[in-house]
A and B are shown apart, each in its own frame.
Chain A
Amino acid sequence: MAYSEKVIDHYQNPKNVGTLDKSKNNVGTGLVGAPECGDVMRLQIEVDDATGIIKDAKFKTFGCGSAIASSSLATEWLKGKSVEEAVKIDNMTIVEELNLPPVKIHCSVLAEDAIKAAINDYRQKNGLEELKFEESVIH
């Protein structure tokens, strides 16, 4: 199975690898997946308190090239979006953008879950109610 050019590009030049200070109130962290499943994603957002806009996003991922590319792409999309807009990022748009084959769809689901987990972490830190999400289909 060959990887799409976009997956290869994100793998070779991942965007926004790193760590944000999780002790800050305006930083939300989502850690999803499990080592025994072969993928763990940690995605972080830093929200501008005044505007509610995500001003920075970072990730670290243990997983295959598609998992790395999905999280790299997710951080790119998150930057500049409001938290409300970010919630709407759907895994299928990641699949389309990266041209992921069916066996790799779970990588995009994981990225979507990581975004939601990071947003909920941010909401919880700021005294907001956690959003309820439907269970993702492919788990």
Chain B
Amino acid sequence: MLQFPIYLDHNATTPCDPRVVEAMIPYFTNNFGNAASRNHSFGWAAEEAVDYAREQVAKLISADPKEIIFTSGATEGDNLAIKGVFEMYASKGNHIITCNIEHKAVLDTCKHIEKEGGEVTYLKVKDNGLIDLAELEAAIKPNTILIAIMYANNEIGTIMPMKEISAIARKHGVLVFSDATQAVGKIPVDVNKDGIDLMAFTAHKMYGPKGVGALYVRRKNPRVKVTAQIDGGGHERGMRSGTLNVPGIVGFGKACEICLNEMEEETARVSKLRDKLQTELLKVEESYLNGDKEYKLPHVTNISFKYVEGEGLMMGFNKNIALSSGSACTSASLEPSYVLKALGLGDDLAHSSLRFGLGRFTTEEQIDFTIEQVTNTVNKLREMSPLWEMFKEGIDLNTIEWAHH
């Protein structure tokens, strides 16, 4: 029996796995201690729980527990990594390379760096959403200190070639930071094999709680340091002060453990559902897949339905299905998705896009219902779309002089 609403927005956030909540509960009540209290059992219990969680988190990305800095989430991790490296390595240089489909937490931090006198190169992605490696290498200069490229994109799910990126960075003695918010817990991420020096990720994208994340900071080959952005009691090896969010960290650890143990099985199941959804929706006339077909997260697909507008489309089923659109109307700015525009999509196709993010609890029944609802709504809205009528009459929409408003 289908239960409504169906949640297909797992790139925005995920529900907490009940096993995660169960692990967290004692740390709100009985084991409430401050992990920095060194002189009594409450503190010891909290510290022990944090240490264990740190191991669980580290294991998921093949890091050493000492390389995990707990944060409030990926936005903080992005800020700490980029600003922290910029300040720590100021004597080495001031140039950072990133790309134009990064999350705002990276892009806006880079804008801040520019105001502080730094220099930032924003690589343009190709129409499949991946960066050009030759362009990356050509952008490296003697004063380049950091390459900041996301592991996987939040809107289209494309996976960047991290191994190749880090090989280029190594060759030139440049550090690699990756915002891996969408990738960790979904696909195998190994900081050593991938050659990553700093990596931000967060619990709430992998069935853990909101408000807790981590920054991986490499300790060996090379030993990387970041300047703290929050000063205080010197927690987290001096890189991030503030009383640790013990229940959150415990939940994060549990979430990582579950992801590690169940990833293979879950990926097989979810990617099969995603493929079904994608295949069926691409059968709709004038529908287009956004982003690379192959280098892509197993649970995401992003499709544009030409001649219908994304928000109008979602309204047809948003009582029953929750998902996201690249349409302007879903944001405050009235600008359509900059990620989709960076792929070279016209504004019209960007306005017509839907992002489907499947997850651990998505069922085949839900996907079948979604296919039916989306297809029906697209057809219904096209019946009332003047653009669809013109398209069917063979009128080239580019020849029309639109009254821009």
Do A61 and B311 touch (CB < 8 A)? Answer: no
B388 contact set on A, CB distance < 8 A: 62
Question: With A33-B405, A38-B329, A38-B336 given, is the CB distance from A17 to B311 under 8 Å?
Answer: no
B327 contact set on A, CB distance < 8 A: 38, 64
Name A60's closest neighbour in chain B (CB-CB): B386
Name A2's closest neighbour in chain B (CB-CB): B318
Question: With A14-B384, A17-B383 given, is the CB distance from A35 to B389 under 8 Å?
Answer: no
Q: Mark B94-128, 1 if CB is under 8 A from A, else 0.
A: 00000000000000000000000000000000000
Name A39's closest neighbour in chain B (CB-CB): B309
Do B309 and A64 touch (CB < 8 A)? Answer: yes
Question: With A14-B384, A36-B346, A36-B347 given, is the CB distance from A63 to B309 under 8 Å?
Answer: yes
**Contact residues, A38-82 vs B (CB, 8 A):** 38-42, 59-65, 67-68
Which of A83-91, A92-100, A106-114, A118-126 forms part of the interface with chain B?
A106-114
A128 on the B face (CB < 8 A): no
Name B387's closest neighbour in chain A (CB-CB): A62
Picked from A8, A35, A68, A103, the residue with its CB within 8 Å of the CB of B402 is A35
Determine how close the nearest CB of chain A comes to the CB of B287; give it in whole angstroms: 16
Q: Mark B366-397, 1 if CB is under 8 A from A, else 0.
A: 00000000000000000111111100000001
A60 contact set on B, CB distance < 8 A: 384-386, 389
Determine how close the nearest CB of chain A comes to the CB of B118; give it in whole angstroms: 33
Do B405 and A37 touch (CB < 8 A)? Answer: yes
B134 contact set on A, CB distance < 8 A: none
Q: Mark A10-21, 1 if CB is under 8 A from B, else 0.
A: 010010010100
Do A37 and B404 touch (CB < 8 A)? Answer: yes
Which of B309, B387, B400 is packed against the most chain A CB atoms within 10 Å?
B309
Chain B interfacial residues counted at CB < 8 A: 30
Do B308 and A62 touch (CB < 8 A)? Answer: yes
B308 contact set on A, CB distance < 8 A: 62
**Contact residues, B308-339 vs A (CB, 8 A):** 308-309, 311-312, 315-316, 327-329, 332, 334, 336
Determine how close the nearest CB of chain B comes to the CB of A59; give it in whole angstroms: 8
A115 on the B face (CB < 8 A): no
Do B312 and A40 touch (CB < 8 A)? Answer: no
B177 contact set on A, CB distance < 8 A: none
Picked from A31, A62, A109, the residue with its CB within 8 Å of the CB of B405 is A109
Name A19's closest neighbour in chain B (CB-CB): B389
Do A11 and B315 touch (CB < 8 A)? Answer: yes
User: Once bound together, how far apart are the Cα atoms of A36 and B402, in whole Å?
Assistant: 9
Do A139 and B309 touch (CB < 8 A)? Answer: no
A31 contact set on B, CB distance < 8 A: 386, 400, 403
B400 contact set on A, CB distance < 8 A: 31
Which of A3, A40, A42, A110 is packed against the most chain B CB atoms within 10 Å?
A40
Do B405 and A61 touch (CB < 8 A)? Answer: no
User: Once bound together, how far apart are the Cα atoms of A122 and B387, in whole Å?
Assistant: 22
User: Once bound together, how far apart are the Cα atoms of A67 and B311, in whole Å?
Assistant: 10
Name B397's closest neighbour in chain A (CB-CB): A35
A34 on the B face (CB < 8 A): yes
A32 on the B face (CB < 8 A): yes
B383 contact set on A, CB distance < 8 A: 17
User: Once bound together, how far apart are the Cα atoms of A17 and B389, in whole Å?
Assistant: 12
Do B386 and A38 touch (CB < 8 A)? Answer: no
B397 contact set on A, CB distance < 8 A: 35
Which of B307, B329, B385 is packed against the most chain A CB atoms within 10 Å?
B329
Question: With A35-B348, A35-B351 given, is the CB distance from A61 to B386 under 8 Å?
Answer: yes
Which B residues contact A (CB, under 8 angstroms)? 307-309, 311-312, 315-316, 327-329, 332, 334, 336, 346-348, 351, 383-389, 397, 400, 402-405
Which A residues contact B (CB, under 8 angstroms)? 3, 8, 11, 14, 17, 19, 31-42, 59-65, 67-68, 103, 106, 109-110, 113, 117, 136, 139
List, sorted by A's number, 30 A–B pairs whose CB atoms are closer than 8 Å: A8-B315, A11-B315, A14-B384, A17-B383, A17-B384, A31-B400, A33-B403, A34-B402, A35-B347, A35-B351, A35-B387, A35-B402, A36-B351, A37-B328, A37-B405, A40-B386, A42-B386, A61-B386, A62-B308, A62-B312, A62-B385, A62-B388, A63-B312, A64-B312, A64-B329, A65-B311, A67-B312, A68-B384, A103-B329, A103-B334
Task: Please provide the 7 A-B residue pairs with the shortest distance between their CB atoms, ordered closest to farther.
Answer: A36-B347, A34-B402, A35-B348, A64-B311, A42-B386, A60-B386, A65-B315
